[in-house]
């Protein structure tokens, strides 16, 4: 056997390559595999709602319920933002495409009509854009779910021998600063949106 710079092994007796894979192809396959894993990680949604543990104090359960209701509201707001964002862009794209097709086949009147429709959609979307708070609501949704999971992890890993009510109150107090931080940046983003660009 002789070793060559290409990273393949050559058989000296028969002069042919054995079934040995090139190192470069291995690196390419590893790169593709890592890219697929990274893409799948980016597509993962917010953490799910944690299941309450047994013997959870009512105060902690109520706090977790309020956070989950807030998370559901943020999820609904993000869904509405996504719909509002594409509400005028999709008709403008379709109308522009059909205008070119109608013009190619000599349908001048239809081409002018759909081109005008596309222009109107673009003008309205430019003067009054919608769905500007999509990223803010999605970020807040992730942060609220992360906070909820953190609180449940603190409760499950609590120190034995202490009063459950005391531990639950300490967890609620420690999480209050993070809850206020999320509420403040959502409020600031919504307040910074001009009135002409606000959602109806």
Helix or strand holding residue 159 (H, E): none
123 has pLDDT over 60: yes
Has residue 50 been placed in a domain?
Answer: no
Highest mean pLDDT among 48-52, 82-86, 180-184: 180-184
Rounded Cα distance, 74 and 81, in Å: 10
pTM here is: 0.64
* Separation between Cα atoms, residue 59 and residue 68, nearest integer Å: 14
Q: How confident is the model at residue 103 (pLDDT cuts 50, 70, 90)?
A: confident
Q: How confident is the model at residue 129 (pLDDT cuts 50, 70, 90)?
A: confident
Q: Range of 113's domain? A: 58-197
**97 and 27 fall within a common domain:** no
Which distant-in-sequence residues (6+ apart) come within 8 Å of 23 by Cβ? 7
- The helix (H) or strand (E) run that includes residue 3 is strand 2-3
CA 173 – CA 127 distance, rounded (Å): 44
Q: Is residue 53 part of a domain?
A: no
- Same-domain status, 67 and 163: yes
More confident residue, 162 or 23: 162
19-25 CB contacts, 8 Å cutoff, 24+ apart: none
Domains contained in the chain, number: 2
pLDDT at 9: 44
């Amino acid at each position: 056997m002789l070793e060559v710079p290409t990273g393949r092994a050559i058989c000296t007796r028969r002069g042919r390559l054995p079934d040995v894979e090139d190192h470069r192809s291995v690196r390419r396959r590893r790169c593709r595999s890592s890219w697929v894993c990274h893409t799948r990680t980016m597509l993962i949604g917010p953490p799910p709602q944690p299941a309450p543990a047994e013997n959870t104090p009512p105060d902690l359960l109520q706090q977790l319920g309020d956070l989950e209701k807030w998370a559901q509201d943020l999820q609904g707001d993000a869904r509405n933002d996504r719909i509002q964002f594409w509400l005028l862009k999709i008709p403008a794209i379709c109308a522009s495409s059909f205008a070119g097709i109608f013009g190619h086949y000599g349908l001048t009147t239809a081409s002018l009509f759909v081109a005008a429709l596309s222009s109107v959609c673009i003008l309205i979307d430019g003067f009054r854009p919608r769905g500007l708070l999509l990223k803010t609501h999605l970020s807040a949704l992730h942060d609220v779910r992360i906070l909820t999971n953190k609180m449940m992890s603190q409760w499950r890993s609590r120190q034995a021998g202490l009063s459950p009510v005391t531990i639950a109150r300490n967890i609620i107090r420690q999480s209050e600063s993070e809850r206020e931080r999320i509420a403040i940046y959502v409020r600031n983003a919504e307040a910074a949106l001009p009135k002409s660009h606000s959602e109806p």
